[in-house]
């Protein structure tokens, strides 16, 4: 899938291979654990294991079903990751002898509720890339500065689409009843890949529009973008790199309710101040869709499928962004925090301005 990028620099050359040594993730919980209750909360470090493989290993050791173990999100397999899982505290004593070469229980706590999918605020990342020369390092510095100041597009990462990058193809067929999938988890995964694929296409289109608005006069874009000059003038007057279009659906950031963008200076100011951000469609039933000129774009990436839809932040703001160049080793190290559901590899691709997998 061809993708537009938000930054204007030329592509940057560096080497990245996702591994436990060069890719570290730490989960940030949504809330503090109470310290009491019937659920044992474990803070676990794993490497070269997916979250589901971690859960399966612990469940097999205890002789219980995987579903008895709760987790907030799926963490990368080819990485060193730290995340929280929960299970009934009656298994606490049995876990004292648990041992796995790729798993270490770092700490434990208690809580009243089981951890469930989505119960996290975000993730903190450490990433190292190699074969970086001083010129590339300087470009990375500038790119990081821009992302820290203005944010970045919230694409789904390549992990979403499977090893061969084509899970969305089967997902579309399943979602439209053209293919059967008996396993409910695989079915949901594949349909989600199709929804994510359409979202990425839409977001890339919006970035293309941003680029055109920045490069050309409104008069020159009326026919190209099929928008009236008055709307294009509004886009050109916006300071933010992501241009809001009449009918966009906004959401309070980093969480909150959805509402329609009405073009007011008040909403533009709130967008610039990171109080709200723009959302994109994950097509399906019950999903709220854009209106006006925003819908004229969005409708090309909508589809009627047998699944529930929703909306997703299209523009996000990484926090605590840091970068360090090691000229002796020709390496560059990144630290940053992303909201849940966002991909560190997307940030790397925005900086590199190319695919990295």
Predicted confidence at residue 68, as pLDDT, reads 95
Predicted confidence at residue 163, as pLDDT, reads 80
CA atoms of 253 and 241, how far apart (whole Å): 17
| Residue ranges covered by each domain of the chain | 31-118, 152-316
Structure tokens at 122: 């975000």
Predicted confidence at residue 348, as pLDDT, reads 97
**Where are the extended beta strands (E) located within the chain?**
23-29, 39-47, 70-71, 80-88, 103-111, 120-130, 152-153, 249-252, 258-260, 276-282, 310-313, 315-316, 319-326, 331-339
CATH class belonging to 31-118: alpha beta
Regions of the chain with pLDDT less than 70: 1
Predicted confidence at residue 28, as pLDDT, reads 96
Residue 328, Cβ density class (10 Å: 0-12 exposed, 13-18 middle, ≥19 buried): exposed
pTM, to two decimals: 0.93
Predicted confidence at residue 353, as pLDDT, reads 94
CA atoms of 39 and 287, how far apart (whole Å): 34
CA atoms of 214 and 171, how far apart (whole Å): 36
Predicted confidence at residue 290, as pLDDT, reads 98
C-alpha Rg value of the chain to the nearest Å: 22
Predicted confidence at residue 1, as pLDDT, reads 63
Superfamily of domain 152-316 in the CATH hierarchy: TruD, insertion domain (3.30.2340.10)
- Could you confirm whether 260 is annotated as catalytic? no
Structure tokens at 170: 């089967």
Q: Which of 13, 22, 76, 320 is catalytic?
A: 76
Q: In what order do the strands lie in the sheet with 258-260?
A: 258-260, 249-252, 276-282, 310-313
């Amino acid at each position: 899938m061809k993708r537009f990028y938000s930054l204007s620099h030329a592509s940057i050359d560096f080497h990245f291979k996702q591994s436990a040594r060069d890719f570290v993730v730490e989960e940030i919980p949504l809330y503090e654990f109470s310290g009491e209750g019937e659920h044992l909360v474990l803070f676990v470090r794993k490497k070269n294991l997916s979250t589901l493989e971690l859960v399966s290993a612990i469940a097999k050791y205890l002789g219980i079903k995987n579903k008895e173990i709760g987790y907030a999100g799926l963490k990368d397999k080819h990485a060193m990751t730290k995340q929280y899982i929960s299970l009934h505290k009656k298994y606490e004593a049995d876990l004292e002898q648990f041992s796995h070469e790729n798993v270490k229980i770092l700490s434990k706590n208690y809580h009243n509720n089981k951890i469930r999918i989505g119960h996290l605020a975000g993730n903190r990342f450490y990433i190292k890339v190699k074969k970086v020369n001083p010129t590339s390092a300087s470009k990375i510095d500038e790119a990081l500065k821009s992302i820290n100041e203005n944010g970045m597009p919230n694409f789904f990462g390549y992990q979403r689409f499977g090893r061969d990058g084509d899970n969305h193809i089967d997902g579309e067929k399943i979602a439209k009843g053209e293919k059967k999938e008996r396993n409910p988890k695989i079915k949901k995964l594949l349909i989600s890949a199709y929804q994510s694929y359409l979202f990425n296409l839409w977001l890339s289109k919006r970035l293309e529009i941003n680029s055109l608005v920045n490069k050309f006069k409104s008069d020159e874009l009326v026919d190209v973008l099929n928008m009236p000059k008055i709307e294009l003038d509004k886009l050109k007057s916006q300071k933010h790199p992501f241009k809001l279009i009449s009918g966009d659906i906004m959401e309070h950031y980093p969480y909150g309710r959805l509402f329609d963008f009405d073009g007011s200076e008040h909403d533009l100011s709130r967008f610039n101040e990171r109080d709200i951000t723009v959302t994109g469609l994950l097509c399906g039933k019950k999903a709220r869709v854009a209106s006006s000129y925003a819908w004229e774009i969005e409708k090309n990436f909508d589809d009627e499928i047998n699944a529930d839809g929703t909306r997703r932040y299209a523009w996000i703001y990484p926090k605590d962004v840091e970068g360090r160049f090691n000229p002796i080793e020709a390496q560059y190290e990144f630290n940053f925090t992303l909201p849940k559901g966002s991909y560190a590899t997307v940030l790397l691709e925005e900086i590199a301005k190319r695919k990295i997998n």
